[in-house]
A and B are shown apart, each in its own frame.
Chain A
Amino acid sequence: MRTSEPRASLPGLARAALLLPVALAGMAFLACTRGRPSPERAEQVFRFRMHEDPPTLDPALSNDQFSEAVILNVHRGLVELDPETLEIRPAVADSWTISPDNRVYTFHLRDGVRFHNGRPVTSQDVAYSLRRLLKKETRSPRRFLLEPIEGAQEFTDGTSDAVRGLATPNDRTVVLRLARPFAPFLSELTMANAAVLPREVYDDPQKAYLRAPVGCGPFRFGRWEQSNFIELLAFDGYYGGRPALDRAVIRMIENKTSALQEYIAGGLDSLDETPDENDTAMMAKVGQEVHKYPFMGTGYIGFNLSLPPFKGNAALRKAFNYAVDKKYLWEVLIPGGNIPANGIIPPGIPGHDKDLPGYPHDEAKARSFLAQAGYPAGKGLPPVALWVNTGEGNRQIASQIQTDLKTIGVTIVIREVDWAAYIAAVSGTKDNAGQAQMFRFGWYLDYPDADAILRPLLHSSNWGPAGNFGRYKNPEFDALVDKALAVTDPKERAELYRRAETIAVMDDAVWIFLNYYQASTLYKPYVKGVVLSPLGEFRLPLERLRIERGTH
């Protein structure tokens, strides 16, 4: 009954009740007006974003770009890769010699290198770190980097207590003897996994080093709040001189839109993602701060050569290649990023062949090869499953490939699953070829050497779940890649890789060769000393950066 409503008789109480949200709003206002730190500050701080926390900060376990972004600024190995020129430079070792037979590497350690705990670095630390990487118990996904060292495998297997090819004649010298010449060996030693570690920290059974790593790099570890930030602090005792930055803060922000807003608001000095080029409003705000540069990596659609219909049918694989319009994909549909690929070895890597014909879009050729493969106009070819892991970019690429292949009469079914399920479907086992007939992958080279892409993805020694998911096996290809390992003349090596690539691309059409990567990063104009590294946006040599506000 409306007469029983108490509404008009309680104005005082209603007003009192109204005060509560007003008070809360007032608190919020006070919070707002507290203000954020002034952008003008003497302290040199560089803030950049990662999508998520690094999976590990143990150099031996590192296998991803986020972990390496931190590790390579906290640690140093015997040698390092200049992220700009890609030359191998001295690091903890200030010089080295290689024997005429290319098997013995003698490193002379630099004077005055200290760990962040103050202790000088000796050759014993180098030996400890390399043995640790090889130990089975360490479970390193990259112990293969040191396998060329004589006796490495026996040490890992536990049949030998020492690594035969590893010696420390004195505190300042390390000698590594290889079982046979291995051209990319120095490059492999530049990897984060080969960092020099202090034994007293890394023998800790409680593994405190996982959250408080100690190295001899330009930055010492500050704080790590999971899902929030990592803070690195300048190391005063760094052998290369104290960095200009006082601190570097890595902020974990998954969502791209939020990260872009934070960058615009000034909460980040750099961002590894840029706005969509079609977003004119956003580009008007930050377009001048976008930096684009080649990135050593190749994107592809793999064919499973152990499964029908691709098994033993190179003509079908060629038909698929010609049908996909890579130019449209990277210049119209997803512009501003990747470059259409004509092969496997990306530009800038010795062995890259810009004259390799590849498979430019050609519908007539695609139809012709399809008929040659036994499926004229797609007749008789059952739907083919293309697997991708979850993500907007992958979805766009897969849809375009589906559309392109539809034009020649091929039906593609897209299977989009999360990363773990995807890897399981694609990798299979030694005895099981997996479920994926076609799958999308990208591969970023660990170091600038064609071996770093041809061997892990296509050599038969990595057949199946070890990385060669397409299950490609061609003895001629294998022989060329193996031969190149022992050749030290750069021109001769590059030629061997070119020949190997031609076989995999033009004869066997092992993938759909989609793109060479291009990185795209935002930097505020006051960040100076920026290095746009072909090793990727997370290969940031923080010691070279400085903040110069008010100078632009």
Chain B
Amino acid sequence: MPVLLAAATIVWIFVFFLPGDPARLIAGGQAADPEVLETIRHEWGLDRPAPIQYMTYLGKLLRFDLGSSYIQARSVVSIIAEHFPPTFILAMAAVVLAAVSGLVLGSLAALHRGRLLDSSILILALLGTSMPVFWLGLILMLLFASRLSWLPVLGYGMEGAVIPFTAIRLPEWDHLVLPAVTLSLVSMGTIARITRASLIEAGTADFLQTARAKGASGARVFARHALQNALIPVVTVVGLDFASLLGGAVATEYVFAWPGLGKTIVRAIGLRDLPVVEGGVLFLTGVFVLVSLVIDLLYLVLDPRIHYSPTA
């Protein structure tokens, strides 16, 4: 809760001091009617002193009211509900791809440490981490969509299935491939390097020698002992990557015209649609906190030595 309150306050301060008048953008921009401008400012409370505006904002938050969009004239909650699922699906697909490929490549690199395969994987991981997503997305688009025509160029598709009892429409799956692969390549590099390092470190531990001495097979030693111990830092990275992708996939959403929340918030900043900026950022902060909590709980599963006591 304190994190959310701090986030709400920081976002409000940033938004308040943004130059520009949201009312003017609605009232006609270049040639706005001054009377209409005044009406809008009054209706939105923009003509009130800053402390009153802040208290009104906090008051609404306490009632779980994120307000309504200035531009779209609908609730911020409904906008988040429309744009978060595409972002969530994209981030989830990217993280699964990144985690699986990162784990496999990291394991292979550790298993072949010092050999050509190890060096190749390290170079690939470095490239993945260092390539700008914007550039990478365009390159993949040009290659797999424009040149080879294997995949759609962009978009979410119009005919994906709707999840029963919700208004959430899933993407057409072929539309998901390119943006998910683009996003995953960045995380994949980091995960592969961390997996490799963790496995090499775990490989030197005494408990592995003990396991081998007790006659455990190589596969069992790797899966039950080495990999499981190496997973803790990997889970941290995967979890944090997932959380940051939920809000930080803007460049990918932009290149592939993906109707996600990150792009919506960036556009709202440009339009000075302040309730959408405030509500969207606050929501993403909440999601980040939640994901961090899930990561902490996963540690309990992965490492029995870890336990949280109420007095800790």
- Identify the A interface with B (CB < 8 A): 1-2, 4-10, 12-14, 17-18, 20-21, 24, 28, 31-34, 36, 52, 55-56, 63, 136, 139-144, 207, 210-211, 225-229, 231, 249, 251-255, 257-259, 261-262, 264-265, 267, 417-425, 427, 430, 441, 443, 456-457, 462, 465-467, 469
Chain B residues near A17 (CB-CB < 8 A): 103-104, 107-108
Q: Does B146 contact A (CB under 8 A)?
A: yes
Assuming the contacts A229-B158, A257-B138, asked whether A140 and B218 have C-beta atoms less than 8 A apart, the reply is no
Chain A residues near B28 (CB-CB < 8 A): 63, 141-142
Contact B19 A421 (CB under 8 A): yes
Bitwise, B198-227 to A at CB < 8 A (1) or not (0) is 001001100011000000011101110010
6 contacts between A and B (CB under 8 A): A55-B26, A143-B36, A229-B158, A252-B257, A267-B155, A465-B37
Determine which of A8, A139, A419 lies in contact with B25 in the assembled complex, contact meaning CB atoms within 8 Å. A419
Question: Within the assembled complex, what's the spacing in Å between the Cα atoms of A257 and B135?
Answer: 11
Determine which of B19, B31, B113 lies in contact with A467 in the assembled complex, contact meaning CB atoms within 8 Å. B31
Given A56-B73, A211-B74, A259-B257, 4 extra CB contacts under 8 A: A4-B209, A225-B158, A227-B260, A427-B24
Contact A225 B169 (CB under 8 A): yes
Contact B24 A424 (CB under 8 A): yes
Chain B residues near A9 (CB-CB < 8 A): 217-219, 221-222
Q: A258's closest neighbor in chain B, by CB? A: B154
Q: B259's closest neighbor in chain A, by CB? A: A227
Q: Does B279 contact A (CB under 8 A)?
A: no
Bitwise, B252-288 to A at CB < 8 A (1) or not (0) is 0011110110011001011110000000000000000
Question: Within the assembled complex, what's the spacing in Å between the Cα atoms of A544 and B13?
Answer: 51
Chain A residues near B177 (CB-CB < 8 A): 28, 31-32
Q: Is the interface of B mostly helix, strand, loop or mixed?
A: helix
Q: Does B150 contact A (CB under 8 A)?
A: yes
Q: A138's closest neighbor in chain B, by CB? A: B36
Chain A residues near B26 (CB-CB < 8 A): 55, 139, 141
Contact B113 A251 (CB under 8 A): no
Q: B171's closest neighbor in chain A, by CB? A: A228
Q: Does B149 contact A (CB under 8 A)?
A: yes
Chain B residues near A4 (CB-CB < 8 A): 203-204, 208-209
Contact A467 B30 (CB under 8 A): yes
Chain A residues near B142 (CB-CB < 8 A): 261
Chain B residues near A419 (CB-CB < 8 A): 20, 25, 29, 270
Q: A23's closest neighbor in chain B, by CB? A: B100
Chain A residues near B5 (CB-CB < 8 A): none
Contact B203 A265 (CB under 8 A): no
Determine which of A20, A55, A456, A462 lies in contact with B71 in the assembled complex, contact meaning CB atoms within 8 Å. A55
Contact A139 B27 (CB under 8 A): yes
Chain A residues near B152 (CB-CB < 8 A): 36, 265, 267
Q: A443's closest neighbor in chain B, by CB? A: B30
Q: Does B22 contact A (CB under 8 A)?
A: yes
Interface residues of B in 135-155 (CB under 8 A from A): 138, 141-142, 144-146, 149-155
Interface residues of B in 20-64 (CB under 8 A from A): 20-22, 24-37, 39-40, 43
